[in-house]
Amino acid sequence: MLDDQTDADLSRHAGAAARWLALCGLEAAPEDIIATNGAQHGLFCTLMALCQPGDLLLVEALSYAPLRGIADRLGLKLRAVAMDAEGLCPASLEEICCGTSPKALYLTPTLQTPTAATLSYERRRTIARIARRHDLILIEDDVFGPLKPDRPVAIAVLAPERTIYVTSLSKCVTPGLRVGYLRAPGELGPALRHAVNLSIWMTPPVMSEIAARLILDGTAAHLIAAQRHAAARRQRLARRVLSDFDYASDPHGLHIWLPLSAGWRADTFRLAAEGRGVLVAEAQRFAAHPADSPESVRLCLSHEPSETRLHDGLAAVATLLQNRK
């Protein structure tokens, strides 16, 4: 485990990765799977492999916070696709594709961050059709997918020939296990593997072996179930404490999306919460175009180990909101 990986190691780890993808609802041959050092590394390698400086990357109007920095580092142009309460709007995607030539669309269809939205099956199917019509590559980030048992099928099932599926164990199993997998159409595999080799040469064998053992002996599935129970319990706690306020959430999600009342701006609310010992993330952090960000904040329910402290933090948020009613 402290040496270069052998062919036997690679075969075993690829088999475990295929088992993990099956748990996520995808069938994949081991040769179609690329191991990464977590989902963020997988996303970086995907964009490095597929895009050239100046290419246009479409993203949800509110999206994964590090994406803006990754795109900037790679010289990519970003354009936001409009969202509603369900997530990405297909009509906005169609309009943009008709007027421009984007290289790819990055999206999180299940338990989207920061909004907690999950796209319906019909909307996923429509997005797949639009992508085919405009020869658009889809980058599906499904790191939260296994937490939601009633989720629709992945877009990678509906459009496997043009979807790079990104998954990881860190959100659903344990955060310190930085192991992820890409499932990609066969013709994209060599470029993705080359990007991984350029960035880290190989995924750490020790981490890959730990992940493989957890997956193959069933421990990963048990930990996912435990995460689901914890998420549901913490969502109920949030509902009790914030019962007087409207916000978006999912019973299986690890965060909530809180629109602020008229008296608050997101930046001043963040500072006020910080003054009470509570960290929140303002919308600007997630916006493809920060100037267009709404006056909203994301509250993470998973980072604080103590549910007593989580309750106290949510109560502090409720007090701030109540004082501006």
Which part of the chain has CATH 3.40.640.10?
7-217
Average pLDDT over residues 137-150: 96
Q: What is the pLDDT of residue 325?
A: 62
User: Global pTM?
Assistant: 0.94
Cβ contact 12:212 at 8 Å: yes
Q: Which of 124, 117, 151 is nearest to 140 (CA)?
A: 124
User: Which amino acid belongs to residue 35?
Assistant: A
In this structure, what are the phi and psi dihedrals at residue 141, rounded to the nearest 5 degrees? -90, 110
Q: What percent of the chain has pLDDT over 90?
A: 87
Q: Which two tokens stand for residue 4?
A: 């270069």
Question: 3-state SS string over 82-133?
Answer: CEECCEECHHHHHHHHHHCCCCEEEECCCCCCCCCCCCCHHHHHHHHHHHHH
Q: Report the C-alpha gap between 110 and 137 in whole angstroms.
A: 18
Q: Tell me the CA distances in angstroms from 319 to 76, 254, 273, one per residue in order.
A: 42, 22, 10
Q: Which fold has domain 7-217?
A: Aspartate Aminotransferase; domain 2 (3.40.640)
DSSP 42-54: HHHHHHHHH--TT
**Cα angle, residue 72 at apex, residues 40 and 260 outer, rounded to 5°:** 75
Pairing of strands 180-183, 33-36: antiparallel
8 pLDDT band (50/70/90 cuts)? low
Q: What is the pLDDT of residue 22?
A: 95
Higher pLDDT, 99 or 4: 99
Statement: residue 7 has pLDDT above 60: no
Q: Which of 200, 172, 208 is nearest to 44 (CA)?
A: 200
Under CATH, to which class is 220-323 assigned? alpha beta
Average pLDDT over residues 249-275: 94
Task: Determine the 3-state secondary structure of 145 from DSSP.
Answer: helix
Which part of the chain has CATH 3.90.1150.10?
220-323
Q: What is the pLDDT of residue 49?
A: 96
Q: Tell me the CA distances in angstroms from 306 to 58, 229, 273, 299, 309, one per residue in order.
A: 38, 15, 18, 15, 5
Statement: residue 105 has pLDDT above 70: yes
Average pLDDT over residues 103-116: 97
In this structure, what are the phi and psi dihedrals at residue 302, rounded to the nearest 5 degrees? -105, -25
Average pLDDT over residues 36-43: 95
Q: Report the C-alpha gap between 318 and 57 in whole angstroms.
A: 38
Q: What is the pLDDT of residue 30?
A: 82
Q: Which two tokens stand for residue 123?
A: 């909307």
